[in-house]
Chain A
Amino acid sequence: MTRRIRTYADLGDAGGGDIVEQVTAQSDRLRRRLATIRHVIAIASGKGGVGKSFITANVAAALVQRGHRVGVVDADLNGPTAAMMLGAARTPLAVADDGVHPATTAAGCTLMSMDLLLASADSPVRWREPAEAAFVWQSTLETGALREFIADTAWGELDYLLIDLPPGTDRIARLLALVPHPAVLLLITTPSAAASGVVARSVTHARDAGLGDIALVSNMDGHVCSKCGTTTPLFGEHAGTALAERMGVPLWAAVPFDPRVGVDTDHGRPVVLSAAHTPAAVAIADLTDALERHTRAPTRLDPVPTP
C-alpha cells in the first residue's frame, strides 16, 4: 500500500523559509503604491524600434501640459532612453522612508529609469551575478527590478503612471503579473508588415492574459513634407486601420514621421511642447484626448474609424 504524504497545500501556512510571507509583503507593497495612482497606462509593442519611448515621452508631456500629475517608468532596463527624451538629469536619487525619489524632468513629469542608475550615458547595465548563469536568474531579476521601479519609487499621488515596456511580446504578460489591470494597453505599431505581425501577436498575448482595454497607435504613419505638407507613405498605406480591424481593437492615433521630431526628441524636447503645430504633435494630442476620454469614462474598446 502506498503511503500518503501530505501535500504542500495540506501544510497550510506552517513551515517553509518565510518565502511566501516575503513574496506576499512584496505584493502588498506594490498594491499600496498602485493605490496612490489613478491610472496605469502600459505602452508596448512587441516589436522594437517602432517609437514606444517617443510616444510615451510625448503623451507624458501632453498630460502634464493638461494639468495632470504624471510619472513614467522606463521598463526597458537594457536600453533605457526615457531620461534623454524627457530631459532628466542623471543625479543621485534620494532614498527615504517612503521609497526612492524619482527624477524630475524638463517635461514636468517624474521618472524612474535604469538610465538614472548608470554611471554615464555610455555605461551598459551590468549585474553582480555571474554572467555565465544569466539564463537562470536574469528574467526573474529583471521582473523584480521592474516591480521595485513601480513599488519602491516615491511617486506621490499620480493621475497617470506611464510604463514604457521593452520589445518582446512576453513583456506584456510580465507586466500584467505585476499590474493586472492597467487602464489601457497602448500597442505601438508602424504600417510595416513586420511590425503589424508582431503587434497582432501582442494583442493575442494581452487578451490571453485577460486584458480587454487595448488600443493601437500607428507611428511613422507616413512622412509629412515640412515645405508643402504632402504626406508620403513610408511603408504600406492604411496598415494601422487594417490591423485594428483584423484584431478588433481601436486605432487611437496615426502619428506621421517628421524629421523635426527626431531632432527634438534627441534633445529632450517632447514635440508636443516644442512644435505643437506639427502633424505629429497634433496626432499625439488626439491620442492624449482619447486616453483622457477613456480614463474618465472607461468603455469597452471596440474598433473605431481611422482618426
Chain B
Amino acid sequence: MKFLCLACDTVMAFAERQLPGDGTMAAVFTCADCGREVAMLTNPMETQLVSSLGIRVGGRTVPEQPMELLRGTLASGGDAFVDDAGAEPDLATRTMRVTWDADASDRLARVPSFVRGMVKRIYSDYARERGIALITPDVMDRARTDLGLEGM
C-alpha cells in the first residue's frame, strides 16, 4: 500500500500513525514536494487484518519481540511466558505484583484489543524492572519516553 501525489507524481511518505482506541487506525502520509497530507483511515476489521500479519503500519519503534504476535493476541496466554533476556532478574523482581490504578486502567482499556495484552506486558515489565508497584498514567508516560513507544 503506497500513496502517490498525482499533482507532483511523488510517492508520499509515511508521517504518523494514530490508534484512537476504538479499533480503528489513522495513518498520515505526506508529499515531500507540495506538503499535501492524506490520512488513510481503516475500520476495525481492516486494522485487525493488518495487525494479524504481525506488522505495524509506519514501522516499528522497538524491534519485533519473539512470538510478539502470539503474546499480544492470545487471550489465554498471559502467564505462559517468562522473560529470560539479558541479565537474569532476581526472583523478587520476576514475581513482583504490579497493579494498575483506575486512570491507567482506563487508558489501557482504550488500547485496541489486538495489542492490549502486549502493551500491558511492556508497561508491567517496565514497572517491575524499576521496582514500581503501581502503574499510573505518569508511569505510562515515562515508559513511552524511555522505551520510545509512540502510539501506545
A residues neighboring B (CB under 8 Å): 5-6, 8, 11, 14-19, 21-23, 25-26, 29, 92-97, 99-101, 116-119, 123-130, 133, 136-138, 140-141, 144-145, 147-149, 152-154
Q: Assess whether B74 is in contact with A125, with CB atoms less than 8 Å apart.
A: yes
In the complex, A258 Cα to B52 Cα: how many Å? 42
Mark contacts of B20-36 with chain A using CB atoms, 8 A cut-off: 1 yes-contact digit, 0 otherwise: 00010001010000000
How far is B57's CA from A11's CA once the two chains are assembled, in angstroms?
18
| B56 close to chain A: CB less than 8 A | yes
Q: Which bucket holds chain B's interface residue count?
A: 35 or more
Contact at A144–B53, with CB atoms within 8 Å?
yes
B146 contacts the other chain (CB 8 A)? no
Chain A residues with Cβ below 8 Å from B73 are 127-129, 141, 145
**A130 with B59: CB separation less than 8 A:** no
Known contacts A5-B4, A145-B70; A14 and B11 CB within 8 A of each other? yes
- CB pair B57 A117 closer than 8 Å: no
CB proximity of B28 to chain A, nearest CB, Å: 10
Is B75 a contact of A116 with CB atoms below 8 Å?
Answer: no
* A16 touches which of B1, B70, B72 (Cβ 8 Å): B1
Using CB atoms and an 8 Å cutoff, list the residues of chain B in contact with chain A: 1-4, 6, 9, 11-14, 17, 23, 27, 29, 44-45, 48-49, 51-60, 64-70, 72-77, 79-86, 113-114, 116-117
Chain A residue contacts of B49, Cβ below 8 A = 136-137, 140
Taking the closest CB of chain B, its distance from the CB of A268, in whole angstroms, is 19
Q: List 17 A-B contacts (CB under 8 A).
A: A6-B4, A11-B2, A16-B1, A16-B2, A17-B57, A17-B58, A22-B64, A95-B65, A95-B66, A95-B84, A128-B72, A129-B114, A136-B45, A137-B45, A137-B49, A144-B52, A145-B73
Find A22's partner among B2, B59, B67 (CB 8 Å cutoff): B59
